Amino acid sequence: MHATDRTPADLLRSALDSDSARPLVTFYDDATGERVELSVATFANWVAKTANLLQDELSAEPGDRLALLLPAHWQSAVWIIACSAAGVVVVPQGDPAAADLVVSGPDQLEAARACSGERVALSLLPLGRRFAEPPAGFHDFAVEVPSQGDRFSPYAPVSPADAAMVIEGREVSGARVVEQARADAAALGLGPDSRVLSVRDYSDWTGISRGLLAPLAAGGSIVLNRHAEKLDPATLAARRESERITHTA
């Protein structure tokens, strides 16, 4: 990672410069049996498309607040970094009524309707499939994102001093997010060869840092596990071995 990285989106750009082909995010859903592995390049492509969707189709502007009503999931990770790229303030599990736009999974659509701005729904089905029937009043992410551009350039530069996230009631700048992610990585002993298995949700800083930002800041990779409570200890231990896990969150 580069010492000049000042936003979460900068951390991803550094990862691309370092080794774009290496795995970055591996995702398991132990309720469906899904496993998805995204290289740095593939993850960055999803981020670019999502940031273009934010900027061009949803008319999101720097400083707008986005309530992210999603579990820990590879698509949630994409949205967090895409918001950083576009200068949009991401509010994990935020109040939709107080947000400029909302992104919701299938379990929180009714709550998401409280947002008066643009609404995006994700099915969270395996392979990022679309809804069988799009929810009324929502853009279906799986329908909208494929046609977006593979490269993203913000219309206005994103300042590291600007708010990037509201987490646990605190507004945090992009520079502070990166600073804290680096500190967490150091405290956990993470490095370029680290592979972190996380069973935590993305509802608080610990879950987002250990399940995305700290490994990214260290040049490592992440294995996200949704519904890990369905695993018996032997299966989880076998996964640690097969995925070459070095740290567990």
| pLDDT tens track for 185-226 | 999 999 999 999 999 999 999 999 999 999 999 999 999 999
pLDDT value at position 1?
60
pLDDT value at position 46?
98
pLDDT value at position 4?
83
Q: How far is CA 140 from CA 55, 71, 123, 187, 203, in A?
A: 16, 17, 8, 39, 23
pLDDT value at position 51?
98
Write out residues in the chain with pLDDT < 70, as ranges. Answer: 1-3
pLDDT value at position 16?
95
Joined tokens for residue 247: 């740290």
Question: Which CATH fold would you assign to the domain 8-248?
Answer: Rossmann fold (3.40.50)
pLDDT value at position 142?
97
Given a contact cutoff of 8 angstroms between Cβ atoms, the answer to whether 239 and 197 are in contact is: yes
Please write the tens of the pLDDT for every residue from 158-182: 999 999 999 999 999 999 999 999 9
For 121, the 3-state DSSP assignment is strand
pLDDT value at position 2?
64
Given a contact cutoff of 8 angstroms between Cβ atoms, the answer to whether 167 and 212 are in contact is: no
Instruction: Identify the H or E element spanning 136.
Output: none
At a CB cut-off of 8 Å and minimum separation 6, what does 232 contact?
A: none
- Burial of residue 133 (CB within 10 Å: 0-12, 13-18, 19+) is exposed
> Residue 233 CB: number of other CB atoms within 10 A?
7
Joined tokens for residue 96: 């939709």
Query: How far is residue 69's CA from residue 202's CA, in Å, rounded to a whole number?
Result: 9
Bin 139: left if φ > 0, else alpha if -120 < ψ < 50, else beta: beta
pLDDT value at position 184?
98
Joined tokens for residue 8: 């979460």
For 238, the 3-state DSSP assignment is helix
